[in-house]
Structure 1
Amino acid sequence: MKHLISLLLCVFTFQTKAQTFKNPDSLFNPTPYGFSHASSVKTPGELVYISGQSGGLGKEHILSPDFREQVQTALKNLTTILNSYQLKPENVMKITVLIVDHSSEKLKIWEEEIGRTWKTKPFPASTLIPVPRLALDNMQIEVDAVAFKVN
């Protein structure tokens, strides 16, 4: 009985205030597409789950034909969301990178640009997945992340 009461208390606590979802005003509204830019769950710290950020610039989601520009924009979009939680790239624990028509040249660009974004090392855990296509025409990269904030 004691375990059941503890479980119910945990479930009730989780459902009341533990979750937050964020869509910074400077980014496009993702709601019509069925996702939030980020979500978090309170623990003794806070885990922040960030949806895949593309190289689309601003609310209009303008995609440059240049891969490097898309990488820079995707990392800027990721940083915008981190900032909304008062976090830095160094708080990211895990990222997943999807690259259309991946090549060694694109990997070199990714490595250079992530090195400019992450001011201190080590880098987060990472998975890079080459893909033939992403959600939108001309989208060349998408980066999602999980960050941690100590309370």
Structure 2
Amino acid sequence: MENNNHPQLINPKELFNPGPYGFSHSISVESPFQMCFISGQSGGVGEHHVLAPDFQTQVKDALENLKIVLQSHSMTFDHVLKITLLIVDHNQEKLGIWAEEAKKVWKTTYLPASTLIPVSRLALPDMLFEIDAIAIKPR
């Protein structure tokens, strides 16, 4: 990453090309900290954004996509301070699945601050879960 104060867009080649859809996967800026604002990552896998039919697999795949974006900024889950979760037809069972998967990737003494928003639908008809993040790392 360049050491300047201009935002840098990063769209990891392992993820689908977001350009035609009007957004970037992430934007990073340098200040006393490297700050990264990550767009919502779903459980879509590969160039064709194939979605698993079940919620738990989509959560796992979305977290893997988030990891790819973080790594593209030389960051890890430890640098994530804020997340927003969007869950289609949210219920306590889905919340339990989320909590189980979150504990597998956040191995720090804290989980990030978060907001959970129940929704009736996401961008694609079969999407069940989406997560965005703000990550910060000292320079």
Question: Fold match, TM over 0.5?
Answer: yes
The alignment status of 1:128 with 2:110, answered yes or no, reads no
Shift of 1:17: 4.8
The alignment status of 1:40 with 2:28, answered yes or no, reads yes
* Alpha carbons 2:5, 2:31 under 8 Å: kept: no
**Residue in 2 that maps onto 1:95:** 83
Distance in 2 (CA, whole Å) between partners of 1:130 and 1:27 is: 25
Shift in Å at residue 137 of structure 1?
0.7
Provide the rounded CA distance (Å) in 2 between the counterparts of 1:121 and 1:87.
17
2:101 alignment partner, one of 109, 113, 133: 113
Q: Does 1:21 align with 2:4?
A: no
Post-superposition offset of 1:59: 1.6
Q: 2:63 aligns with which of 75, 85, 106?
A: 75
Higher Cα Rg, which structure: 1
User: Matched residue of 1:139: which SS?
Assistant: coil
- Post-superposition offset of 1:41: 1.6
Post-superposition CA distance 1:61-100 (Å, at most 9, x none) = 0011110000000000001000111111010010000000
Aligned to 2:137: 149
- Structure 1 stretches of at least 4 aligned residues deviating more than 6 Å after TM superposition: none
SS of equivalent to 1:81: helix
Instruction: Please give the root-mean-square deviation of Cα atoms over the aligned residues, in Å.
Output: 1.0
- The answer as to 2:127 corresponding to 1:139 is yes
**Aligned residues: percent identity?**
54
Question: For each residue in 1:15-50, what CA deviation from the matched residue of structure 2 results, as whole angstroms up to 9, or x when unmatched?
Answer: x75210100001000000000100012111111000
Where is the helix percentage greater, Structure 1 or Structure 2? 1
Q: 2:50 aligns with which of 27, 44, 62?
A: 62
Q: How many matched pairs?
A: 136
